[in-house]
Structure 1
Amino acid sequence: MRDFAFADDTPAAWTYHRATARWLFNASSGGESPPVVPGREDGGLPWTPLPAPMGLDIGLADAMRARVSCRRFRVDAVPLGTLSTLLAAGYGIENRSGPIMLDRPVPSGGGLYPLEITLLVRAVDGIAAGVHHYVPASHGLELVRAVELPPAFLTYLFMGQPWVAEAALICVLSFAGGRSLSKYGDRGYRYGLFEAGHLMQNLNLAAAGLGLGAVNLGGFYDDELATLAGVDIEREIPLYCSAIGLPDATASDRMGMRALERGTSPGTGTA
């Protein structure tokens, strides 16, 4: 079998990569930092303040060991306090370094924090089923759309992945490009991808520490997901998602099941 040729076999991906590459003649540290831009919050939507986040009583090594993709969820609702802690650990505001800079638990190019979190909620105590937008500055949720999310629809939206429809909620990370691209140009798109990875790992580790199960999702219909989230896909693009809920198996059970699916013994594969 011939070697994979990036440029020939996946020309669209190669074109993107080379278009955002830097050489001596086009390298710079970025333009002037744009004015601080507020998030997508509306201000006029129904509002749910989140309770103060709880402490995570788990060490990093234990959280990393417990981070296993979950594809079997219980029907139980996630407590609102648990969701509050999860969101604060992922992208919440930790402290204020003066009147402008808002420190968060992930690094961000230029401190611009161009990501948004939308929740597709099926079962969380204290909030309606539907689409909610997380507002880090006020640590609360605004209700974008109260709507039931049928399992068949969610399975379709996420390209046939059936376990998505069993989760209590789906966390959607999207990139509001104007906040980053106005300073860094096309290279800012890479920075948005980096940041989404940082944020998602925080969510995964916090979920493990809270006893939640999570499975990360890259397969979804982009335009339909953006429409459901209530965003203009020409200005804000979904990047990465995670289905989250109370697991119907322990972490070690899930590792064993994934190993059996792959034809390996527990402990030799990853999940």
Structure 2
Amino acid sequence: MAALAFEASPRALAPRTGLALESACTVVGLLASLGIVTPVVRERSSDVSARSAVEWAVSEGILANRVDSQLALVSSELAAYTADGLLEVCWELHHDGSRSVDVSVLRDEVDPALLEHFTGSAWVEFDVVDHLPIEMGLFRVLRPAPPGTESAAWMQEAVHRAGSSADLLANEAIGALTNVCGLPSMLGFVSERRDGLRVLFAITSRAAFDEILVALAIHGVSPSVVARLRMFAPVVGGGTPVRLAVDATSAGLGPRIGLEVFEPEALRLLPGVLDALGLDGGPLAEFSASLGTPAAERRLAQAGDAISDVHRRKVLHAKVTFDGDDVSAKSYLSVRSECASHAGSTVEDLDVPPTWEFHDLLFHSQVRNGRVRRRLGGTARFSVMPGAPIELSAEPHPGDVVLPAIDIASVVRADLPLGQGMRQRISDRDWTGPELALERLAEVLARVCEPLPRQDVVMGAPIERVGHPYPSGGGLYETDVVVIANRVTELEVGAYLYRPASHSLTRLRGSADAVQSLLLAASEGTGGGTSTPQAMLICAARFPDLAVKYEGIAYALMVKHVGVLMAAVGYAATAMGLGSVAIGTGNSDDFARATGLDYYRHGSTGEMALSVPPATGSD
């Protein structure tokens, strides 16, 4: 398929491969997005995509009544992909009874010397006469002036760089409009005039619009035009700026004044304003129908010949022009194509914000219902535990460090109210305090992991089980706590597995270097500098214990359990006056080496640092 894609469009590939056209489009688009056929797509398929997009855009609505097959062909031949992988064609529909249509296409800026002052793409406008395109002008987007550069001088330099002899510095009217609106958003270089320019200013507020009308009146625009422009005040000030179009000449302003409207809500108001201005019924009805053209979109698999992620058709904007006592209206309809071979995207990427990473989105989509075809949840897919289960005895293990007994029921009576403790919890990254007393460590562990009798009712029958203060899916409590002791009284530096039932610590014999790596990683992960925490509490999940019952969501559940366990540690530490902080990342391989536990059966899923604040001492 990859070899064939170098020689043919999807429409030609479909019969040769036996694939449906939709499937051929999808496969070739994916090959393009992976870069496998990128050079060929760029060189061979631009005309195919342009023709497909244009034919689709003009196939219905008002364009179908205006743009015949010849004009559509001319439009597609004029189009070309920009460096950003975009193809855009815009049709300018004249609503004056002439049924004229002009064509504009988005092109890359061909002169590298202009890129300092203008953006990398420009609109090229063509007047189509007897199906022959005649270039009328080039509309370039002006970049903002660099800091410390005077705006008017920057604009004039841009004009001269573009080959125009127009002197905007001497044009008082342009100066006045620039004072109100800032630099023009776009400059139009008309082919037949080297000394004149079309200048377009963005109007962002009603107040700016009022100031512009005053400036126009001062600089020679007739009172009748200014009065009629004032009728457009309701369409100004929306989310998208209105644009003023004027012709700058050596004498000031040309006779034509245009107002371009982009905001959909404002576009709905235009027919009413034009009706009040006396626009003839036929052109007005046609104008209204054009603005009512619905936006449309089609994706790769619908595109026929095109190798393109998406085609979008919409009303781009509308323009009302005053020329003395005459008023006319135009609508601008565009089709935009985004090419997969340039954008490097797939169909799904069109809707997915770039902040999603692949593995995050895959995980998110596969552990929640909606985009998963298999069953999720407690399916008990294994009738027997694969391999021997990991058992934690209620009796101390030989050689265990038996921790001081803690009467949690009595201890917690003196605690702050839960709400107040939650508000006082902070992330404490200061590890310069004294050693953590073993009794204090024992109390944190007992507060969080104390075995508590629980009772469930299953099918009407009560079932007794052992739980802990925090919740766990299915009451399975697959997450153990491994203590990495660094500066803890009565404990050697190393890794210890906490056994809640016996309230003891079992020394885990692993790599001492890996223990140090875990401590240093905690410092790096929290910005702790060169200091390391007095102790770390690492969540270690017995993966099979949960996965035996829960299908599709086992790891997602483990991560949630890590969250509630970390919260419990944080609140317990706050109640005791200790410091704690969750560590953003951890190294499961170092954990396996430091503890000797199996990476796949009893691995780390989260880390917290525990410390004694410097001012409190170890007691």
TM-score by length of 2: 0.36
Segments of 5+ residues of structure 2 without an aligned counterpart are: 1-349, 456-461
Q: Structure 2: how far apart are the matches of 1:150 and 1:104?
A: 30
Matched, 1:11 2:358: yes
Report the counterpart of residue 26 of structure 1 in structure 2: 374
Residue 61 (str. 1) matches residue 419 (str. 2): yes
Contact 2:497–2:508 at 8 Å: present in 1 too? Answer: yes
> Which runs of 5 or more structure 1 residues have no equivalent in the other structure?
251-271
* Mapped contact 1:175–1:192 kept (Cα < 8 A): yes
Shift of 1:25: 5.5
Q: Equivalent residues in 2 for 1:81-100 (5 A)?
A: 81-95=439-453, 97=455
Which residue is equivalent to 2:438? Answer: 80
Check 1:72–1:17 CA distance in 2 against 1; reply closer, same or farther (3 A cut): same
The count of residues paired between Structure 1 and Structure 2 equals 249
The answer to whether 1:119 aligns with 2:483 is yes
Question: How far apart, in 1, do the equivalents of 2:599 and 2:503 lie?
Answer: 25
8 Å CA contact retained: 1:129, 1:147: no
Kindly indicate whether the alpha-carbon contact (under 8 Å) linking 2:512 and 2:594 is maintained by their aligned counterparts in 1: no
The match for 2:605 is 239
Which structure carries more strand by proportion? 2
Q: Is the 8 A contact 1:173 1:238 kept in 2?
A: yes
53-62 vs 196-205, greater mean Cα deviation: 53-62
Cα deviation, 1:20-48, whole Å, max 9, x if unaligned, reads 22249534651349789554579755201
Q: Using a 3 Å threshold, how does the CA distance of structure 1 residues 7 and 142 change in structure 2: closer, same or farther?
A: same
Counterpart residue number, 2:72: none
SS in 2 for 1:95: strand
Are 2:583 and 2:606, in contact at CA under 8 Å, matched by a contact in 1?
yes
SS at match of 1:65: helix
CA 1:100–1:39: 2 relative to 1, 3 Å: farther
Deviations 1:177-197 (A, max 9, x none): 111111111212111111111
Task: Give the drift of 1:125.
Answer: 2.0
In structure 2, relative to structure 1, the CA distance for the partners of 1:228 and 1:45 (3 Å cut) is: farther
Q: Partners in 2 of 1:49 and 1:195 — Cα distance?
A: 26
Distance 1:79 1:182 in 2: 39
Residues 125-144 of structure 1: pairs in structure 2 closer than 5 A: 125-144=489-508
Q: Which amino acid aligns with 1:210?
A: M
Q: Is the 8 A contact 1:130 1:149 kept in 2?
A: no
Counterpart-to-counterpart distance in 2, 1:222 and 1:150 = 11
Structure with larger Rg: 2
Counterparts of 1:52 and 1:4 in 2: how far apart (Å)?
56
Deviation at 1:155, TM superposition (A): 5.4
Instruction: Give distance in 2, aligned partners of 1:79 and 1:113.
Output: 27
1:70 pairs with 423, 428, 434, which one? 428
Q: Spell out the pairing of 1:1-271 with structure 2 (5 A cutoff).
A: 5=352, 9-23=356-370, 26-27=374-375, 29-32=377-380, 38-39=390-391, 46-53=399-406, 54=408, 55-56=411-412, 57-58=414-415, 59-95=417-453, 97=455, 101-145=465-509, 153-154=517-518, 156-158=520-522, 160-161=524-525, 163=528, 165-248=531-614
Do the aligned residues in 1 keep the contact of 2:486 with 2:494 (CA within 8 Å)? yes
Structure 1 position 100, deviation (Å): 6.1
Structure number with the bigger relative contact order (C-alpha 8 A, sep ≥ 6) is: 1
Change (3 A) 1:154 1:237: closer
Across the aligned residues of Structure 1 and Structure 2, the Cα RMSD in angstroms comes to: 3.4
1:174 and 1:28 mapped to 2: Cα distance?
Answer: 24
Cα distance, 1:150 vs. partner?
9.8
Conservation of the 8 A alpha-carbon contact between 1:90 and 1:200: no
Q: 1:75 to 1:136 in 2, by over 3 A?
A: same
What CA distance in whole angstroms lies between the structure 1 residues aligned with 2:351 and 2:433? 44
